[in-house]
Structure 1
Amino acid sequence: MERDSIIKVIALMVTAFGIGIDFTGALMLVPAIENSFDADITSTQWVLNIYALFFAMTMVAGGRLGDMYGHRKVMIFGLALFLFSSILCFVSPSLDFLIGARALQGIGAGCVWPCTLAFGATKVSRQEHRALIMGLILAGVTSGNVFGPMISGLVVNYGDWRLFFLANVVFASISMITTVLLMQRDTTHKAGEHIDFAGMGLLSFAVLLLLYGLDVGAEWGWLSVPLLLLFFVSAVLFMLFPRVEKRVREPLLLPQMMENREFRITLGLNMFNVSAAFVGLLYFPQYMQKVLGWSVLESAVGLAPLTVLLAVGSIVSGTLYNDFGPKRLLFWGYLFATIGAASIVVMPMELGYFQILPGMALIGLGATLTVGPSGTAAVCAVKPERAGLVGGLSFMVHLVYGAISVACATAIMYMVSLSSLRQQLATAGVDLSSADQKAINGGTLTTKTAAAVMQKLGSAEADKVKTALATAFDSGMNMAFVFSTISVSIGIVLALMLDEKKLHKIES
């Protein structure tokens, strides 16, 4: 590979690294953000979910805009928006402001990522180097996934959670400079391209309503009229989505693609593999901090069995695809992930870190064998000229279902942990009002509201409350992983249904 191309690939890897650290790194900040804004997990989960949703829904449009107006131009715009929103995250005066800034970050990342891949695939080097270049770009983003929690741990231990977003500013600035200086301008653009803004908007609003309903369900009451109306509107929008897709010129999901059985199966395989990994990335660090009493940095190191496997696996699985075939890889991957999620439920709390260690390793191994192969299988299920569209769609459903999984798991976790806390406090003879129980539910005792509750208690009662909270958190996390186990196990069935012979003989 020529020296000029090597420099460009390094620049693209830095951009990918910046995207990678932002996603996993923000997960480690959840307890610190709870403390800073006196919030609970049902609210702080939006720091993850809103980013994933807007990243997912922008990505297809970002790729299309790059084709229409130039990948360099759209990439610079996305990096500028990502940099600006990172500064907003750094100065956020409230949780709502932070969530809004994270939404902007997701839009910026959704413009940057498809254009980064486009540069790697078409503009950096010769045809024979493309596979190597794409592998290096993926290595950049997965390395960011590994180092993101480490950076979070360092900034929380030695400063403030806000400093994490300065790392975003640094990497976005470097990426903007290298893009301006190194990446050539596009000389040709695709004519006649159209973006399905109607479909994206409808789907985004439907998912947002669903996520919001899961967030406020415990507060409003699960059978309350406003909440049921919210879920009804969300369901109606989901049902309207395919009708709208039939009317737009270039829909996200082409009707002929959705008539393709193998494509539908591979799209499902791209969805369900994310449930255990996303829920684990959210709750494993909290378990280590809230139950085991570890620092953020120690929790980041403790998360390594999952993050390192996710990083290494995305590269290794590509080499296994042709040797073993997608059906075998996906079946065993989903099986490992299902066993891993189930192990979290059945392993006793007394084991401490070793309660979650086998599950982390198996979930990481399962993701290794499913994330890459499911995306490749989806691309193989359609015509070559639709590979870019399907690549974006597969990652879109991956992230959207990940956000939905986290919201569902968090709603379950909150309800179960609160019920467990009430029972244990009653058994221990500790009298706390319903409002006080909700204030401390979730295990974060350093928020202003939770600290005020604990100050009302004597030392003996405070010790009983801490024990009850740890057990309640564990019970809630276990039930969250019951949901993940069921979700991931669907992938086993889909993998068995996949017909490899038909997969590579698609006509539509």
Structure 2
Amino acid sequence: MAAPAAGLLGTGRVLGLACAAQFMVVLDVSVVNVALPSIQTALGFDAVGLQWVVGAYAVVFAGFLLLGGRLADVYGRRRVFLWGLGLFSVSSLVGGLAVTPGVLVAMRAVQGLGAAMLAPATLTIVTTTFAEEPGRTRAVATWTAVSSAGGAAGNLIGGVLTESLSWRWILLINVPVGAVTALAALQLLPAGRPRTGPRKLDLPGAVLVTLGVTALVLGVTQGQTHGWTAPVTVAALAAAVLALAAFTAVEARGSASALVPPHLVRMRPVRVGNAVMLLAGACFIPMWYFLSLYMQNVLHYGALATGIGFLPHTVVGILCARLAPAVMQCMGARTLIASSALLSAAGFAWQSRIGASSGYVDGLLGPAIVMSVGMGLLITPITTTVTSGVGEQDAGAASGLMNTTRQLGGVLGLAALVAVAAAQPGTAASYQAVFVAIAVVCAGVAVLACALPAPRRADTENGTGR
């Protein structure tokens, strides 16, 4: 039975469904952080291999987001939404029952593939359902707030499930949630019509970009353990360069099936906005990983206490994401991005002063408020800048590209920061060095934001700040 049109059921319900699915996707980036020590003990991971519980999801997610975005354009958003949701839920079930490190990491990778189909579909549903301003900016702000909530709430939910049940439930919980979300999607999302004409997909491009990202992360990881001149490190980095160069050449041909249509990257807001998002991802995604380990390994918090410790990040981030459209009307997207990045940099610089004897208020709460204000205000103007002005036929590709750059930044940032922390493993000094590095990258985001187009008066008034 075809679903009723969004207009009959209310766009608010469609927005709620898209946000619920996006919450699941982002939640699974961070939900494992609090459970990492339990997972390490239960399955016997070593310190370097443990990062792949996070990294396998993020690498595949980043590598296939471009293909996932194009799938939504070609086969229809509801169909791809349901495909991704099914793959995500089944891999969560198998991963939650895993008894070896290899099975868990493999299922986290499959989860990433399902998420790569699901995430672009959710943003595309939002940007096509709310095509006019200012409703579009408010809808994107809601989607952004939910994304922020998913990243932050993952730590609390992971702590509650790990301490009250088992680390396995951080994955198994996705199964009933996924089933309910699928039923809602069948009722709320119109079936739509797939794109007419040949349904050719850029599979070579998807394979090349995934190989390139994976090899790059592997090279950075091997560099920290075997040295930067070791044959395995050099080989991985060389493979990354070759694969990404080949991907660039494939996309430059300008075929109709390109994952990244050349006309998209020629648009200055898309090109510069994605570069800003890449650096932002390198700051914010690894933050959850290192703060979680710091609270448990240095401050000796339990899993539940660690999750509760992230509540200020969650609450402040959501509130500021909801305020972002109003602030954009006052100062424009470019100014808001730069000022928010500088505020985040100040929060991370404050966070770098932590020590083994730090209290919660001075060591975590104060920095959390400052950095979360910056993070909450930052993502909405970047997302609006990247997606505004993109035609509906390329909405999936633009959404996939933006999600890719954010996740790629997170993967590379995590790998690089693990190398920074490895210089003094397990000590407060290692976490101090990590947060100093993140503060520097946040300052770089502010500088790069100056290359975005200046806002026009009309755009500032309707909330796009473009």
How does the TM-score come out when normalised to structure 2? 0.86
* TM-aligned CA deviation for residue 406 of structure 1: 0.5
In structure 1, the partner of 2:376 is 368
Quick check: 1:66 aligned with 2:72? yes
**Equivalent in 324, 333, 336 of residue 329 of structure 1:** 336
Q: In the alignment, which of 405, 419, 430 is matched to residue 411 of structure 1?
A: 419
Q: What letter corresponds to residue 276 of structure 2 in structure 1?
A: L
Give 1:465's aligned residue.
none
Return the match for 1:298 from 297, 301, 305.
305
Question: Within 2, Cα distance between the matches of 1:125 and 1:3?
Answer: 17
Equivalent residue number for residue 197 of structure 1:
203
**1:307 equivalent in structure 2:** 314
Matched with 1:448 is: none
**1:114 equivalent among 111, 120, 124:** 120
Is it true that 1:155 corresponds to 2:109 in the alignment?
no
Q: How far, CA to CA, are the matches of 1:98 and 1:105 in structure 2?
A: 10
Q: Distance in 1 between matches of 2:365 and 2:58?
A: 26
Residue by residue over 1:77-133, the C-alpha shift from the partner in whole angstroms, topping out at 9 and shown as x without a partner, is 211111110011111122221111011111112222233344445569999966665
Deviates more, 1:321-330 or 1:256-265: 256-265
1:476 to 430, 439, 442: 430
Deviations 1:313-370 (A, max 9, x none): 3332233223210121111111112222222334554324323433333322222222
How has the CA–CA distance of structure 1 residues 319 and 103 changed in structure 2, closer, same or farther, with 3 Å as cutoff?
farther
Partner of 1:458: none
| Residue 486 of structure 1, CA deviation | 2.7
**Residue 90 in structure 1 maps to residue 96 in structure 2:** yes
Residue 276, structure 1, aligned to residue 283, structure 2: yes
Q: 5 Å matches for 1:25-424?
A: 25-122=31-128, 136-187=142-193, 189-192=195-198, 194-247=200-253, 249-250=255-256, 251-353=258-360, 354-380=362-388, 386-414=394-422, 416-418=423-425
Match of 1:498 among 445, 452, 456: 452
CA distance in 2: counterparts of 1:331 and 1:502, whole angstroms: 17
Deviation digits for residues 425-465 of structure 1 (CA, Å, limit 9, x no counterpart): xxxxxxxxxxxxxxxxx4xxxxxxxxxxxxxxxxxxxxxxx
Alpha-carbon deviation of 1:194?
A: 4.3
2: CA distance between counterparts of 1:123 and 1:375? 16
Gap runs ≥5 in structure 2: 1-5, 460-466
Letter in 2 for 1:223: T
Range that drifts further, 287-296 or 252-261: 252-261
> For structure 1, which segment, 136-145 or 224-233, has the greater mean C-alpha deviation from structure 2 after superposition?
136-145
Q: Is contact 1:142-1:312 (8 Å) kept?
A: no
CA distance in 2 between partners of 1:31 and 1:266 (Å): 36
CA distance in 1, matches of 2:78, 2:390: 28
Question: For residues 17 and 266 of structure 2, what CA distance do their matches in structure 1 show?
Answer: 40
**CA distance in structure 2 between the aligned counterparts of 1:121 and 1:210, rounded to whole angstroms:** 32
In the alignment, is the contact (CA less than 8 A) between 1:279 and 1:481 conserved in 2?
A: no
Q: Where does residue 21 of structure 1 map in the other structure? A: 27
Bigger mean CA deviation after superposition, 322-331 or 181-190: 181-190
From 428, 439, 463, the equivalent of 1:485 is 439
Equivalence map 1:438-449=2 (5 Å): 442=426
* Bigger shift: residues 480-489 or 104-113: 480-489
Going from structure 1 to structure 2, the CA distance change for 1:41 and 1:365 (only over 3 Å counts) comes to farther
Q: Partner letter of residue 323 of structure 2?
A: V
Q: Determine the structure 2 residue equivalent to 1:425.
A: none
Query: Counterparts of 1:486 and 1:7 in 2: how far apart (Å)?
Result: 40
Q: Which has the higher contact order (CA 8 A, sep 6+)?
A: 2
Q: Does the 8 Å CA contact 2:279/2:409 hold for their aligned counterparts?
A: yes
Residues 4 and 52 (structure 1), Cα distance of their counterparts in 2 relative to 1, 3 Å cut: same
Alpha-carbon distance in structure 2 between the residues aligned to 1:334 and 1:132: 21
The answer to which of 96-105 and 63-72 deviates more is 63-72
Which blocks of at least 5 consecutive residues in structure 1 are unaligned?
419-441, 443-472
TM-score, length-normalised on structure 1? Answer: 0.80
Between stretches 74-83 and 114-123, larger displacement belongs to 114-123
SS at match of 1:317: helix
Shift of 1:478: 1.7
How many percent identity over aligned positions? 23
- Counterpart code for 2:299: L
| Equivalent position amino acid for 2:435 in 1 | F
* Larger Rg over CA atoms: 1
Any idea what SS the aligned residue of 1:241 has? Answer: helix
Q: Is the 8 A contact 1:13 1:139 kept in 2?
A: no
* Among 9, 32, 50, the residue aligned to 1:4: 9
Residue 402 of structure 1 deviates from its aligned partner by: 0.9
Structure 2 counterpart SS, 1:350: coil
Specify whether residues 491 and 136 from structure 1 end up closer, same or farther in structure 2 by C-alpha distance, changes over 3 A only: closer
1:434 maps to what in 2? Answer: none
Please, what is the CA RMSD of the aligned residues? 3.0
Range with greater deviation from structure 2 (240-249 or 77-86): 240-249
Quote the Cα distance in structure 2 between the aligned partners of 1:153 and 1:360: 18
Cα deviation, residue 288, structure 1: 1.0
Which whole-Å CA distance do the structure 1 matches of 2:276 and 2:156 have between them?
Answer: 30
